[in-house]
Structure formats: structure tokens, C-alpha cells
Amino acid sequence: MSEVIVITSGKGGVGKSTTTASLGVGLAMRGKKVALIDTDTGLRNLDILLGLERRIVYTLVDVAQKRVNYGQALVRHKKYSNLFLLPTSQVADKTAIEPEQMKQLVDTMRHEFDFILIDCPAGIEQGFQTAVIGADWAVVVTIPEVSAVRDADKIIGRLQAVNKDIKLIVNRIDPQMVKAGTMLDMTSIDDILSLPCIGQIPDDREVINASNQGIPIIEWNNTAAGRAYDDVVGRICGEDIPFKPFETEGFFARLKHVFGH
């Protein structure tokens, strides 16, 4: 059985592409055959995050417009041979692909892959329609800020209108701020959006360090964000993984903060 999941958010820059790359690698590490489709035409990023930017020959636009088969456009990951990227064009714009073309493509690719993850562009225009149409269910990524949660709610309305199941990932949580009561936590976001949550990803500087090198953070299992993404992958595979409390600094570190500045 194949599963097609769209990773979306409404608001830009909250971590859709970062999440898509890590979930893709995580599923591949568990032996699944995975395709990642970048639908952010004109602003492609997934190739960079996976370290595959120099291997692109054809793109999603070529495939959707039937110039080549999807197999010719797929780029195999260097380390995980069962992970593939279908990159999009950096020059075309979102109108180059019709939602119906995308649906057909996804339905063809289903036969070959265990998981297809679709990285959605920000916004609610045609790019969103195209990304969403072929998906079985959706991951909505948000961050603990009023504006991002509000945009997530808008996207959730759109997704529910087309009967997609939705699961939530809250990204960039700062455990110390949550503890101090200066940031929304997963429970309060859950309460507002009333959706099942499959991930709580801490804000982690190593995410940028890893992406500089074209490595999805999940490959670094000694990082807080990497481990949190690994838990998400387990949950997607149906494992019952409890949410662990974040490690926050102890009393003495807080003492240092107070007297340090």
C-alpha cells in the first residue's frame, strides 16, 4: 500500500521543506521506497536540502507536460538508494502545472513507491491546489506563533473542505521559552486547532548547520531536532511513540543567565 502525504503550512518559512527532507530520509532509513516531490516551482529548495542540486536534468514541469517520463526526472539520493527526488523547475512558475496533471502523475507513481511526500509551496493559490490534490492526507507544519497558527487554521479549513485527513507538526519550539510561559506549547496549539499532533520539533541551530551541507537533520541522531523527526517517522509508520518532554537547562544554567547579563 502506498501513502501520499502533502507537507503544507499556509505561512512561509515555517519548515515544510526541512520537514519533507527529514521525513523522506527517515522513511528511507526504515527501508521504505520513497519519492519526494518539490512543488514549489520557481523557488525550489528540496534539492539543496538533500544535497542533490547538481544532479538535476529534468523537472516536474517536464514530466507534467509529458515531455519526459517521471523516471527520467527522478534523482536518486547519494546515500539512500531507495530515496528519490522529483525536483521542480526554478524558471517556470506555479501555473506551469495543472492540479489535474499532478493528480495523474501521483496516481501513476503510487505503483512504484511506498511513500510519496509532496513539499507544498506557501500560500493558498494554485501551487497549493496542485500540491494537495493527489495526496491521501496532509501534514500541517506550524510554529508556535499567533500568525503561523492562524495561517495553519486557514489551510486546515481548505484541506477539510476536500476531505483530507490532517496531522500537525509544531516546529521550532523553544523549550526554555515554553517553560517560562513566553511561547505557545503543543497542548495549547492542539486545543486551538483540535487536530492530532505527530511531532514537536525543537528549535535547533544544528538544522542550519546540517542544511548548509545538504544533510537532512534526521541523519544526525545526536541532535534534538533529529531525534524529534525520527519519532515522527516512527509515528507515520504506525509505531506508538510517546511525546518526550524536552530537556531544558537546569537551575544553575538559569542562575548563570540571571547573573550573566
Partner 1 sequence: MSIWDKLFGGSNNRSSKQIAHDRLKVVLIHDRANVSPEVMNHIKNDIIEVISHYMDIDKNAMEIALENDADSVALVANIPVNNMRHDAGRRR
Ligand X SMILES: Nc1ncnc2c1ncn2[C@@H]1O[C@H](COP(=O)(O)OP(=O)(O)OP(=O)(O)O)[C@@H](O)[C@H]1O
Residues near ligand X (CB under 6 A) are 9, 12-18, 40, 45, 122, 171-172, 201, 203-204, 207-208, 211, 225
> How far is residue 173's CA from residue 201's CA, in Å, rounded to a whole number?
6
Beta bridge partners of 71: none
Owner of C-alpha cell 497542548: 187
Question: Which listed option, partner 1, Mg ion, ligand X, none, makes contact with residue 254 (CB within 5 to 8 Å by class)?
Answer: partner 1
Residue 129 binds Mg ion, judged by CB under 5 A: no
Label the pairing between strands 165-173 and 75-76.
unpaired
Interaction residues for partner 1, span 172-211 (CB under 8 A): 178-185, 188, 191-192
First to last CA, the chain: 56
Q: Least distance (Å) from Mg ion to the CB of residue 35?
A: 17
Residue 17 binds Mg ion, judged by CB under 5 A: yes
**In sequence order, which ranges of 69-197 are alpha helices (DSSP H)?**
70-73, 99-109, 126-133, 146-161, 175-180, 186-193
Query: Of 66 and 154, which has the nearer Cβ to partner 1?
Result: 154
Residue 1 binds partner 1, judged by CB under 8 A: no
Q: Least distance (Å) from ligand X to the CB of residue 247?
A: 15
Query: Of 109 and 178, which has the nearer Cβ to partner 1?
Result: 178
Question: Which listed option, ligand X, partner 1, Mg ion, none, makes contact with residue 251 (CB within 5 to 8 Å by class)?
Answer: partner 1
Q: In this structure, how many other beta carbons lie within 10 angstroms of the beta carbon of residue 242? A: 6
Of the candidates 108, 132, 135, which has an alpha carbon nearest to the alpha carbon of residue 121? 132
Question: Which listed option, ligand X, Mg ion, partner 1, none, makes contact with residue 180 (CB within 5 to 8 Å by class)?
Answer: partner 1
Query: Of 105 and 122, which has the nearer Cβ to ligand X?
Result: 122
What's the distance, CA 142 to chain centroid? 10
Among positions 66, 78, 150, 256, the unique one binding partner 1 when judged by CB under 8 A:
150
> How far is residue 27's CA from residue 234's CA, in Å, rounded to a whole number?
8
CA 129-170-157 angle, to 5 degrees, is 35
Query: How many CA atoms within 13 Å lie on the side-chain side of 252?
Result: 0
Question: Which listed option, partner 1, ligand X, Mg ion, none, makes contact with residue 18 (CB within 5 to 8 Å by class)?
Answer: ligand X
Of the candidates 9, 4, 10, which has an alpha carbon nearest to the alpha carbon of residue 23? 4
Query: Of 112 and 206, which has the nearer Cβ to ligand X?
Result: 206
Query: Of 24 and 144, which has the nearer Cβ to partner 1?
Result: 144
Instruction: Give the residues lining the site for partner 1 (CB under 8 A).
Output: 144-146, 149-150, 153-154, 157, 178-185, 188, 191-192, 251, 254-255, 257-258
Instruction: Give the residues lining the site for Mg ion (CB under 5 A).
Output: 16-17, 45
